[in-house]
């Protein structure tokens, strides 16, 4: 979907993804000392705002201006400040490096996904962390929610391959199950998490 389509989606609903952080993001960043962070394709900013509350200097990068407006409003309501940048993360935007670079549920086809992950890796400062959390391709057969198109669903191997030659050391790369409440009761979604660090 293009930026205009996402603008419409964000405009027509309340908080599309909710106000609280993604549980995997919260858990994976809990042990990191606050510094500068980039939330790439960060939507309404829920993860960046959570991290700003933990003392991070947070920047949301997103190609939907409507989402960024909502992110600024949500941050203000929570008493924190975030930076916002209007940009397409698949097009290698010019961003300052950061101690944490986050990609959470980026939903694009394989080639732009790999390009976004490769570019994200270049933004990780020495000693910094890249964290990728996405719907896994196995979610089509074993999970619930997420895009129904396999072209929009990377595997762990796809994400790792995008990091080849980046200079980052992968410290975690695996599928994880995420409990989701549905009209038919709780079910599991299949995501994957890749965490990598740049030697400092």
Look at residue 145 in the predicted model and tell me its pLDDT. Answer: 87
- Distance separating alpha carbons of residues 188 and 11, to the nearest angstrom: 29
CATH number for the domain harbouring residue 152: 3.40.50.150
Render each residue's pLDDT in the chain as its tens digit; 200 residues: 566 665 555 566 665 555 579 999 999 999 999 999 999 999 999 999 999 999 999 999 999 999 999 999 999 999 999 999 999 999 999 999 999 999 999 999 999 999 999 999 999 999 999 999 999 999 999 999 889 999 999 999 999 999 999 999 999 999 999 998 888 899 999 999 999 999 98
Look at residue 8 in the predicted model and tell me its pLDDT. Answer: 58
- Distance separating alpha carbons of residues 164 and 71, to the nearest angstrom: 33
**Quick one: tokens of 30?**
């809990």
* Contact present, 136 and 191 (Cβ < 8 Å): yes
Look at residue 150 in the predicted model and tell me its pLDDT. Answer: 95
Q: Which domain holds residue 131?
A: 3-15+24-197
- Distance separating alpha carbons of residues 53 and 37, to the nearest angstrom: 12
pTM: 0.91
DSSP string over the chain: --HHHHHHHHHTSS-SS-SSPPHHHHHHHTTSPP-EEEEET-TT-HHHHHHHHTT-EEEEEES-HHHHHHHHHHHHHTT---EEEE--GGG------EEEEEEES----HHHHHHHHHHHHHTEEEEEEEEEEEE-TTHHHH--SS-S-GGG---HHHHHHHTTTSSPEEEEEEEEEEEEEETTEEEEEEEEEEEEE---
The domain tally of the chain equals 1
User: Would you tell me how many other CB atoms lie within 10 Å of the CB of residue 141?
Assistant: 8
- Distance separating alpha carbons of residues 14 and 95, to the nearest angstrom: 29
The pairing of beta strand 185-197 with beta strand 169-182: antiparallel
Look at residue 180 in the predicted model and tell me its pLDDT. Answer: 87
- Distance separating alpha carbons of residues 62 and 87, to the nearest angstrom: 6
């Amino acid at each position: 979907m293009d930026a205009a389509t996402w603008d419409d989606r964000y405009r027509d609903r309340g908080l599309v993804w909710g106000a609280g952080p993604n549980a995997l993001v919260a858990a994976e960043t809990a042990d990191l000392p606050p510094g500068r962070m980039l939330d790439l394709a960060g939507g309404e900013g829920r993860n960046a705002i959570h991290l700003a509350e933990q003392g991070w200097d947070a920047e949301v990068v997103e190609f939907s201006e409507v989402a960024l407006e909502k992110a600024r409003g949500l941050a203000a309501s929570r008493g924190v400040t975030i930076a916002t940048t209007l940009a397409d993360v698949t097009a290698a935007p010019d961003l300052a490096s950061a101690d944490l670079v986050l990609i959470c549920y980026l939903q694009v086809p394989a080639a732009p996904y790999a390009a976004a992950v490769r570019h994200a890796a270049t933004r990780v400062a020495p000693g910094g962390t890249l964290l990728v959390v996405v719907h896994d391709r196995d979610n089509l057969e074993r999970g619930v929610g997420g895009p129904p198109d396999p072209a929009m669903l990377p595997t762990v191997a796809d994400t790792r391959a995008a990091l080849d030659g980046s200079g980052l050391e992968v410290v975690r790369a695996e599928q994880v199950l995420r409990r989701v409440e549905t009209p038919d009761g709780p079910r599991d979604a299949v995501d994957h998490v890749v965490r990598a660090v740049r030697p400092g």
